[in-house]
Amino acid sequence: MNHLIAPSMLAADFANLQKDIEMVNNSEADWFHLDVMDGIFVPNISFGVPVIEAINKHAKKPLDVHLMIEDPDRYIELFKKAGTDILTVHIEASKNLHRTIQRIHSLDMKAGVSLNPHTPINTLEDIIKDIDMVLIMSVNPGFGGQKFITQSLEKIKKLKKLIHNSGSTAQIEVDGGVGSSNAKELVEAGTDILVAGSFIFKAENPVQTISNLKNLK
C-alpha cells in the first residue's frame, strides 16, 4: 500500500509543540496536517498563520494546510508565506472555487478541495480535473476525537470512480475518526492520504502508531 500518513497537529501538545514536531519528523509520517478554524465556518477556533510559521521553522516534511474558514481567498498569500505546500479550501466556503484554485496554483502550492459529510461528490464534477487533492471529512468539522461516519466509505468509492472516469490525477485524503479499526478499509476503498490526530498523539507510542498506519497488514 502506497498511502501517505498526515498526523493532525490539532491534537499535538501545544505546551511542547517542538517535541511533537520532532516526533513527526523522525517518524514514517509523510506530511504535517494543519487545521485552521475561524469560529464562523466551524464552531471552533484553532491556530493561524503564526503557529504555521513556527511549525515550518522545524518541520522537515510538507505542510498540508486545511482551511475551515469563510472567504479563504483573503488569506491565500499569507499561508503561502507561512510555508504551506498543500492548501485545501472547503467547497461550501468558496464563492468562486475555480478562481481560488487558480490563485493557489499561481503561488506554486498544490490545491485541495474539502467536502463536509453532507456535501455530495457530484459537486466536484466541474473542478475535479483542476485540483490535486480532495479531502473527505468523515466527521463534522470543528472538533477532534469524533466517531467516524461510516457512509464516508461509499463516498470515497464514488469519488475514486469520478477521478478515474474524468482522467483526473487528484488524490483522496480522509480526515476524521481514522484509526487502526478502519485504516485498511479506507485505503482499500481508494484513500491515498490518511489524516489522524488523537489516534496518534494520544497513543502510548506515537512513532509506532504512525508506523502501524503506514504499514497496514
- List, for residues 21-78, the tens digit of each pLDDT value: 999 999 999 999 999 988 888 777 788 899 999 999 999 999 999 999 999 999 999 9
Q: Would the pTM of this model clear 0.75, i.e. be above it? A: yes
pLDDT at 206: 97
pLDDT at 95: 87
What is the rounded CA–CA span in Å between residue 127 and residue 13? 37
**For range 167-182, the mean pLDDT:** 95
Instruction: Assess whether pLDDT exceeds 70 at residue 146.
Output: no
**For range 176-202, the mean pLDDT:** 95
115 neighbors 136 (Cβ within 8 angstroms): yes
Instruction: Assess whether pLDDT exceeds 90 at residue 144.
Output: no
Instruction: Assess whether pLDDT exceeds 70 at residue 212.
Output: yes
**For range 89-111, the mean pLDDT:** 96
Say which of 30, 35, 64, 192 is annotated catalytic. 35
| Dihedral over Cα of 121, 122, 127, 130: its sign | positive
143 neighbors 105 (Cβ within 8 angstroms): no
pLDDT at 217: 81
pLDDT at 46: 84
Where exactly are the structural domains of the chain? 4-214
The reply to whether 175 belongs to the active site is yes
Q: How confident is the model at residue 108 (pLDDT cuts 50, 70, 90)?
A: very high
pLDDT at 1: 65
The reply to whether 192 belongs to the active site is no
**For range 2-10, the mean pLDDT:** 96
| 168: its cell numbers | 483526473
Which CATH class, in words, describes the domain spanning 4-214? Answer: alpha beta
Nearest to 148 by CA among 75, 199, 214: 199
Residue 121 CA: distances (Å) to CA of 1, 97, 140, 160, 210 = 24, 15, 16, 10, 29
Say which of 30, 64, 175, 192 is annotated catalytic. 175
